[in-house]
Structures are given as C-alpha cells and as structure tokens.
C-alpha cells in the first residue's frame, strides 16, 4: 500500500505563456473523417533527461524524455529523423562512376543516397555521399557490408545523440508540437481540458500504450530549437529495500519523491509481490527524472531483478521503472557491460557513488557519510535496528523497521542535495550539450564527442570511428621539479592559466591540423610533430576550446554581477556552469592522449605535454639565472622564493612593531608575484600569480607539501600527505595535521613534542581503537552463477593483501561486500606474514572492536611522523625511543 499523491496546486496560467502558452485549434484528422479531434499546439521549455527511439514501419520516432520548466514530465515524440552514415572511396581522390552509386542504392536497408559533398578526410578533400538507412540498427550492418569498397564515416554515432548533433541542441531545448495526451492533473495545471486519449492517436504519434509522463507531445525535427539554460525543477525518487538475510526476500520497502514543492513518502508492506508491484506503480505514477538510493547499483536493483526473476513465469511482474509504456521491455533497468544501470527516460544515480566521488569519505557506509554531512541531525537517527538480525527485527517490531527503512530512503535525497549532484550534472549536460543521463553516467569521451562531432559535421570534415586497440606505448606527461627539503618562507606560486587548453589553442593542435609535410608546418613541437597554421586551417579542438574559454569568462563575469546584486541563486547557477566548463576543458587532454579516441593521433598528447615541459623548464631556467630560487614545480605551477634581505618569521606576529614588518613582507611578496606574472606572460601564455605563502614545507618528496597561504586568502594547504589520504588511520592524519600547523608557524619544538607524546600514548595503548581503523577499497568479480566473489582476477596473490583478507572475513560473517567498496580493518598481529587483520564492524553491527597490535601502529605512526621530523634531525627511531640519538655526525648535518 502506498500513500496517494496529494493534488498538485494549479499554476498560474500567465507563467505558462512565457514560452508561447497553449493554443487550441480544431482540425479534421485523416484517420476518421467524420470525427473532429481536438489538436493542441503547445510550446515548452524542456530539460532533456534521456533520449531513446522506436522504429515505426519504415521510419523512426525519437523519444525525448524530460521535465518542462513548469515542472511537468514530458515525452516528446519527434518525427522526421532519418538514420544515416557517410561514405567515400578508399585511397587518394578519384572519380566515381554512377553505376557504383547505383549499386550503393541497391544495398539492403539503404533508403536513399545523397551527395556528393566535398569533405576533408584523412587523405585530403574527397567527395562524400550520405547514405540513409531504414532504422538506426541498420547503420552498423550497412557499414559492415560496405567494408572494403567504401570508407564509412559518422557510422558509430548513437541515434539518440544524433538529434542533438544534427539540430545543434543542448540539454535545454525549446519544443513546439501537438499535445496528444495529458494527465488530468497536468491538464488542470495548464488550465485546459485533457485531449482525448484514443489509441489511434497515440499510434499515429508512434506510441504503443500509455507513457507514464504528464504530457505526450508530437513534434517534428524542425520544431525543436536551442534555448538558454534554465534551472529545471527535476524530481528525484529515492528508495530502500529491507531484505531477509535468511531467504534473500524483500520484507518491506520505502520510497520518497522529492520535488520543488516538497516530499511525498511511501512505505510498502504485504506480500513480496505486493511490495514490489506497488513500488513499481509508485515510480510510474510519480514519474521521477532521477531514481536514487544508497548503493542501489549493487544492492537494491539487483535484488529487485533477482526477486522478480524468482516469481513463477505466469505471474511475474514487469520491472517497468522506465518512462515507457508498461508492456515496453525497454522499461526494465539494465546494466549491460557498463558499470551503470540505465533505464529508458530516467537517470539512475547512486547516492553512494555520487557521495564517494564528491566527498571522498574515509568510510563509505550510509551512516558515516550522513554523519559527515549532517553531524547535527544525526542525533535524531537512532541506530536501534540491528541490520544483521533483520529477520528477527522484522518479526518483533515491523513498524520500527519500516520507519528505519523510510529514513534510509530519505537520506540519499539529502546527500544528493547537499553535494548539489543533480544541479552539477544539469550544468555539465548544458555545457557538453548532452542529456542529463550522459552527464551523469557518461564518459568524458562522450561529452567531448558531443562537441567535436557536431562541429566536424558542420565544417565538412568526416567523422572517423572510435579506434579499437590501445597502443602499449604511453606518452610522456608533465614535468615535476625536485622539491627542496625542509621549511622555506615567503614563497609565491605562479600558475599557467589553463595550460594544456592554451597550448592546444596557441599551436592549433588537432587531428585535423596535424601534418607530415614540413613545408606546410608552422607549429613544430619539441617532439618534432607538426601542425599547420591557423590561417591555413583552424583546428576543431582550438575552436571549441576558444569558445569554452569565452563561455567560462562569461559565466565568471555573470557571477561577479550576481554577487554585486546579492543574488545567490544566480551566483550559484553561473558558478556551476563555469565549473562544468573547466571540467570539460581539462578533459580534452585526457581523451587526446588516449589511444582509442576517434579524433586523435599519438602526436597530439605528446606534443601538448612536450610544449608544456619546455615552457615550464624555460621559465625555471630564467628565474634561476636571475638569482631567484625555485622551490618546486608540478606541470603548470612554479614555487619561487621571494628575494628578501631579511626574512621575517612566517607566523603572523601579535606585536604591533613586528606586525608592521610582517605586513610589509606580505606586501612586497604580492608585488613580487605580480611582477613575475607580468614579466613572464606573453600574448599566448598567461602566467598568473596564484598564491602567496608565508611558509612551505616538504620532507623532500614530490607531490607532498604543506603551505600557509596568506594571499589571496588565508588558508593552509596540504598536498599528498596522510591527512589528504583515505587509506591512513585517523590518529596519523590528526597528528600530522596539527604538526604541520606548528611547523608552518615555525614552532618546531611543539611539533616534535606532539609527535613524541602521541607515539608514547600509542605505545601504551592509550588511544581509541576507532583512531586505528584503516580503510581501502577492494576489487573482486561477482560469479554470475553462485554470487561468490572471485579475487584472483584482480590480484596476483589475494590472500596476502590486508584489504582482501578483510573482505573475505566480511563475507564469512554474512556481511555485504560489493566489489569496489571500501573495507575497514584493524591490524591485530603484524608479526605474522601476511599480517593478521580483523574487520572493524562497530558502526555496522555494534560490539567490541578488535584488539589492535599497538607495536605495529607505533612503528607505522613513527615512520610517518619521522619522515617529517627527520628534516630537523629526529628519525623515526628517535621518536619511538623518546630521545634523540645525538652523534657527531647528526650535528654536522
């Protein structure tokens, strides 16, 4: 049983007219001459959640699933799209006789051949024909049957994406069309009578049965257009199942739908079939854009699939969670080969995965992540249901379990809201011009394809296929300068602005501009790779990156304006957009350096990094030559010591007199940074003064340093060291964090004191075992047949690894383990080989923590702290002993 949906408050009619409103007209239909059907012209702004398509007779209807700016769910049935691919003759340009084209027309499933059009191919300009085929799935078949006689282009683009590419649309689209069906509530909201819902009408529109959306609109390709991004009132449904440990059956379930108007909660009880059936009904009725839950990818969705599979064939339910008619098989979520579940018309977004990516928590249990995000609210959440005794709990107090289940359904929504996961994805989709689904679950290559393919096709450049194999050779990457060991004071950090994108723009780096002809080359990389001049041909990638840079500047400007107006909403909106642009720009280098991307060549990635290394090394050499000291550098950043006659102590002093000296040093540091940035910036490359530090410390290892930033704002940065890592143990991170603060204040004695005291306490076991928990992610493969986990595919010697040992012990004790999840343990005996560890389960099942091997932890902590203190003459051994082994040699150091 579930609570019914409360009525939706009617919207004001005027707000709907902003985008054209609703027109009514009476027209005779061709199907039934004597009946006059009402046909309603409608104009909508839609955020595209997902795109699919269906073949109808000899044409294809594209289904665009989304949410309107007014908050209604909609499926737009777009007519007039025809699947196609392009062909050209292999080899150098040559004449093609008409008979050859006629043969092409005769190929099975080919509907039409058009052209030729002169296009740029890998072998120069060539005539290219466009071959239209019956259905999208015929594209690969025709492609393969033409193998050898023709080269094919644009022949592996998924048809759903085709709509956005051909019409140059993004996530937010304007739609004009005919309203052919609406739920009574939706009609009421729009202030109209719902249209007649006759089967013929839906069939005419290319639908079979009822889509679960509020509106069904029929449209034509010509009636879709690009619109500016808006914040869509997306809806999210979260759910949680409680299952029997003994039988694996579903005991109860809960779901919460979150809209901009609030939450609707539902709980499900009864027989397993009733629970699952009612849950499916609730999903279809509430028609959310996003389905979420905690670890649904690896738990709840597989459980639903398995339990339905276990039902007798006759009365088996359909797991129709998708936005398609009930009898349409595409409604069932599937995860074919991919790590992600897909479900037609909706996005499946696992709050576990999103939280993991956004927060990088040390432990990943729902309770730990909630604690992290909502420390105050967690008081309310009573952990009084013992999940390891679920069957008994359900027997004894079902209402408590149901309440617990509802809580667990609701938390994922709060988590996603707290990290703004949906909004971020919407922004990324708007920038990469892909549906929400691709923004959430797609790969970077899909986002970049979306921009690159559409520009190539507009620029009369053929689109190559994604390459099959990966080469064994890897490209040399960025340059990392040796870091000076110890404490340095008064440092400026200079950064190249968007270094790799700038290089790509400056040197016109693109697969379409690369050349082997030395006469044509105007850009020669340090590796010898050559690229033509911009005037000869402007590369696709430089064009896109230039646009992206401009759009980032635009959104940053809008942020400034919003800030001035104190419009937080607008500020956050543009901040997300500029952030998405940045993410996208930085992804370009990655796909270009990958060997299987369609628009790349091994020269590209190698040239970019080679130019970058040269640029950074040149500046380091010049700085060194002029007497400045370079402390560190990684890829695009340079840390330079500010030249000063006398270096004031780094800590901001309380005394007036000293404070003035300190402030003066800070001012001269800023001036020096700005001066360097200006001197080393040319038109093509921008070196920016990014940060000013009073103190910088490293023990001498690259990518590991801490710094006290005093410009542009005050903060402490820690890079690479244990406090940044999720696989250390808490006391290690906490101690180092405080020690770093002391070091940066130039309070060496306090840092050493803390190290000695913490090690002493640990040696005598005077610490909370919680501070000794180590967590790491663990791989493994699930055996399809028996559900067992196989570790041997991922690990050479699984049993010798502490995290695998922990995972195995969890499984032994009947606890969940899903490949990729983090497991937590305490080392109980390090004298054995491999060391003995015990899972730490206090958060999950309660009980006593395992007895730690304190001597192991003492040694590990001493090693970590000793690395730092060794810069000041205290080795790890000295820290454990509690005294420094002073020798003549150590004094000389």
Partner DNA sequence: AACTGTGGCAAGTAGT
Partner DNA sequence: ACTACTTGCCACAGTT
Where does this chain bind DNA (CB under 7 A)?
Answer: 360, 443-446, 470, 474-478, 480, 495, 498-501, 586-587, 589-591, 593-595, 605, 609, 634-637, 699, 701-704, 718-720, 724-727, 775-779, 794-797, 800-803, 822, 827, 830, 833-835, 856, 860, 863-864, 867
What CA–CA distance (Å, rounded) separates 661 from 649? Answer: 10
Q: How far apart are CA 492 and CA 642, in angstroms?
A: 7
Q: Distance (Å, rounded) from C-alpha 788 to C-alpha 781?
A: 8
The dihedral through the CA atoms of 728, 730, 735, 736 has a sign that is positive
Residue 793 CB, nearest distance to DNA (Å)? 10
> What minimum distance in Å lies between the beta carbon of 591 and DNA?
5
DSSP run (H or E) holding 837: strand 836-839
Q: In angstroms, what is the minimal distance from the CB of 325 to DNA?
A: 32
Pick 471 or 890: Cβ nearer DNA? 471
CB of 441 to DNA, least distance (A): 11
What CA–CA distance (Å, rounded) separates 129 from 137? 19
Closest Cα partner for 617 from 493, 505, 478? 478
Q: How far is the CB of 335 from DNA (least distance, A)?
A: 16
Q: How far is the CB of 160 from DNA (least distance, A)?
A: 17
Nearest to 544 by CA among 520, 512, 497, 567: 512
**Please, which residue, 347 or 801, has the CB nearer to DNA?**
801
Minimum distance, C-beta of residue 419 to DNA, in the bound complex (Å): 17
CB-based burial, 806-824: b 16+ in 10 Å, e otherwise: bbbbbeeeebebbbebbbb
Q: Report d(CA 450, CA 447) in Å as an integer.
A: 5
| In the complex, least distance from residue 703 CB atom to DNA, rounded to whole angstroms | 4
Phi-psi region of 614 (alpha: psi -120 to 50; beta: other; left: phi over 0): alpha
**How near is the Cβ of 888 to DNA at its closest, in Å?**
20
Continuous H helices in 707-853? 730-744, 748-763, 802-812, 842-845
Closer Cβ to DNA, 634 or 685, answer by number: 634
Nearer to DNA, 105 or 339 (CB): 339
79 vs 576, beta carbon nearer DNA: 576
Q: Tell me the closest approach of the beta carbon of residue 725 to DNA, in angstroms.
A: 4
Close Cβ partners of 867 (under 8 Å, ≥ 6 residues apart): 699, 701, 876
Beta partners for residue 698, in sequence order: 486
Spatial contact of 806 and 891, defined as CB atoms under 8 Å apart: no
Nearer to DNA, 576 or 860 (CB): 860
Q: How far, CA to CA in Å, does 388 sit from each of 165, 296, 845?
A: 51, 19, 6
Q: Which is nearer to DNA, 463 or 807 (CB)?
A: 807
Q: Please list, in sequence order, all residues whose beta carbon lies within 8 angstroms of the beta carbon of residue 464, skipping any fewer than 6 positions away.
A: 122, 153, 598, 599
Residue 295 or 445 having the CB closest to DNA:
445
Q: Which is nearer to DNA, 109 or 776 (CB)?
A: 776
| Nearer to DNA among residue 81 and residue 591 (C-beta) | 591
Least gap, CB of 352 to DNA (angstroms): 15
Instruction: In angstroms, give the least distance from the CB of 613 to DNA.
Output: 9
DSSP category for residue 8: P
Residue closer to DNA by CB (options 273, 467) is 467
Q: What angle do CA 739, 741, 745 make, to 5 degrees?
A: 115
Contact status, residue 151 vs residue 129, Cβ threshold 8 Å: no
Contact 690, 676 (CB under 8 A): no
Residue closer to DNA, measured from CB, 334 or 863: 863
Instruction: Give the nearest distance from C-beta 340 to DNA in angstroms.
Output: 12
CA dist., res. 231 & res. 252, Å (int): 35
Question: Least distance from C-beta 477 to DNA, angstroms?
Answer: 3
- Of 17, 5, 7, 6, nearest to 191 (Cα)? 17
CB of 111 to DNA, least distance (A): 33
Looking at the Cβ atoms of 5 and 719, the one nearer to DNA is 719
Among residues 539, 549, 547, 532, the alpha carbon closest in space to that of 599 is found at 539
Q: Are 38 and 56 in contact (CB under 8 A)?
A: no
Q: Which is nearer to DNA, 683 or 833 (CB)?
A: 833
Between 121 and 475, CB nearer to DNA:
475
601 or 776: whose CB is closer to DNA?
776
- Say if CB 672 and CB 488 are below 8 A apart: no
Give the DSSP letter string of 647-676: ---SSPPSSHHHHHHHHHHHHHHHHHHHHH
Minimum CB separation of residue 833 from DNA in Å reads 5
Q: What Rg do the C-alpha atoms of the chain give, in angstroms? A: 31
Residue for token pair 């929504």 = 413
And the tokens for 407?
Answer: 């809580």
In whole angstroms, how far apart are CA 565 and each of 230, 421, 574, 822?
Answer: 19, 26, 14, 44
Contacts of 382 (CB under 8 A, 6+ apart): none
């Amino acid at each position: 049983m579930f609570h019914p949906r409360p009525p939706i408050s009617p919207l004001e009619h005027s707000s709907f007219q902003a985008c054209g409103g609703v027109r009514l007209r009476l027209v005779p239909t061709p199907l039934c001459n004597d009946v006059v059907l009402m046909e309603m012209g409608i104009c909508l702004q839609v955020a595209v959640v997902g795109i699919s398509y269906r073949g109808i007779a000899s044409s294809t209807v594209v289904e665009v699933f989304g949410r309107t700016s007014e908050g209604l769910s909609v499926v737009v049935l777009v007519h007039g799209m025809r699947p196609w691919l392009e062909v050209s003759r292999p080899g150098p340009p040559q004449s093609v006789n008409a008979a050859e084209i006629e043969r092409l027309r005769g190929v099975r499933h080919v509907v039409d051949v058009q052209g030729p059009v002169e296009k740029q191919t890998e072998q120069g300009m060539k005539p290219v024909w466009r071959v239209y085929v019956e259905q999208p799935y015929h594209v690969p078949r025709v492609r393969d049957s033409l193998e050898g006689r023709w080269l094919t282009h644009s022949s592996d683009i998924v048809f759903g994406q085709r709509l956005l590419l051909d019409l140059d649309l993004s996530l937010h689209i304007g739609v004009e069309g005919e309203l052919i069906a609406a739920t009574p509530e939706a009609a009421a909201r729009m202030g109209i009578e719902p249209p007649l819902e006759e089967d013929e009408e839906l069939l005419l529109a290319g639908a079979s049965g009822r889509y679960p959306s509020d509106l069904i609109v029929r449209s034509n390709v010509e009636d879709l257009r690009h619109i500016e991004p808006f914040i869509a009132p997306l809806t999210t449904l979260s759910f949680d199942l409680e299952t029997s440990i003994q039988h694996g059956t579903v005991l109860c379930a809960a779901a919460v739908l979150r809209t901009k108007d609030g939450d609707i909660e539902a709980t499900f009880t009864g027989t397993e079939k009733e629970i699952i059936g009612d849950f499916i009904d609730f999903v279809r009725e509430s028609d959310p854009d996003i389905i979420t839950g905690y670890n649904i990818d690896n738990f709840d969705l597989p459980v639903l699939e398995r339990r339905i599979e276990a039902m007798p064939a006759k009365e088996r339910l359909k797991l129709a969670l998708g936005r398609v008619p009930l009898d349409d098989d595409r409604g069932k979520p599937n995860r074919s080969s991919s790590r992600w579940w897909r479900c037609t018309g909706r996005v499946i977004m696992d709050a576990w995965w999103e939280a993991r990516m956004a927060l990088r928590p040390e432990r990943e249990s729902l309770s730990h992540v909630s604690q992290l995000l909502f420390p105050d609210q967690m008081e309310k959440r009573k952990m009084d249901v013992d999940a390891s005794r679920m069957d008994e709990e359900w027997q004894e107090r079902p209402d408590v379990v149901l309440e617990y289940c509802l809580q667990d359904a609701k938390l994922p929504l709060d988590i996603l809201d707290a990290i703004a996961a949906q909004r971020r994805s919407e922004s990324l989709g708007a920038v990469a011009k892909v549906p929400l689904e691709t923004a959430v679950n797609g790969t970077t290559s899909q986002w970049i394809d979306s921009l690159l393919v559409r520009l190539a096709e507009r620029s009369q450049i053929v689109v190559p296929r994604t390459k099959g194999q990966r080469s064994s050779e890897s490209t040399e990457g960025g340059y990392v300068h040796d870091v000076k060991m110890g404490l340095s004071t008064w440092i400026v950090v200079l950064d190249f602005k968007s270094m790799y994108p700038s290089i790509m723009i400056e040197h016109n780096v693109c697969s379409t501009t690369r050349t082997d002809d030395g006469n044509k080359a105007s850009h020669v990389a340090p590796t010898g790779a050559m690229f033509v001049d911009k005037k000869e041909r402007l590369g696709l990638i430089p064009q896109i990156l230039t646009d992206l840079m401009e759009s980032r500047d635009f959104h940053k400007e809008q942020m400034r304006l919003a800030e001035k107006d104190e419009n937080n909403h607008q500020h956050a909106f543009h901040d997300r957009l500029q952030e998405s642009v940045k993410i996208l720009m930085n992804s370009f280098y990655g796909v270009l350096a990958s060997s299987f991307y369609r628009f790349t060549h091994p020269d590209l990635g190698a040239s970019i990094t080679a130019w970058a290394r040269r640029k950074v090394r040149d500046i380091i050499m010049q700085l060194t030559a002029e007497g400045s000291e370079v402390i560190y550098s990684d890829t695009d950043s340079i840390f330079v010591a500010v030249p000063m006659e006398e270096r004031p102590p780094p800590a901001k002093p309380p005394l007036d007199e000293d404070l003035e000296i300190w402030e003066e040093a800070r001012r001269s540091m800023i001036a020096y940074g700005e001066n360097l940035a200006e001197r080393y910036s040319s038109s093509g490359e921008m070196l920016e003064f990014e940060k000013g530090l009073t103190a910088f410390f490293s023990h001498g290892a690259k990518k590991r340093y801490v710094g006290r930033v005093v410009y542009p704002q005050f903060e402490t940065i820690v890079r690479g060291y244990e406090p940044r890592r999720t696989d250390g143990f808490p006391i290690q991170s906490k101690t180092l964090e405080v020690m770093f603060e002391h070091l940066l204040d130039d309070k060496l004695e306090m840092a050493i004191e803390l190290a000695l005291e913490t090690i002493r306490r640990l040696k005598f076991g005077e610490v909370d075992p919680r501070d000794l928990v180590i967590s790491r992610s663990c791989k493994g493969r699930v055996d399809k047949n028996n559900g067992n986990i196989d570790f041997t595919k991922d690990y050479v010697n699984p049993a010798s690894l502490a995290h695998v040992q922990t995972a195995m012990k969890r499984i032994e004790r009947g606890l969940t383990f899903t490949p990729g999840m983090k497991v937590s343990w305490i080392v109980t005996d390090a004298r054995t080989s491999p060391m003995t560890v015990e899972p730490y389960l206090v958060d999950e099942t309660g009980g006593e923590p395992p007895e730690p091997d304190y001597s192991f932890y003492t040694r590990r902590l001493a090693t970590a702290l000793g690395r730092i203190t060794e810069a000041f003459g205290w080795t790890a051994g000295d820290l454990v002993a509690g005294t420094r082994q002073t020798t003549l040699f150590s004094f000389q150091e």
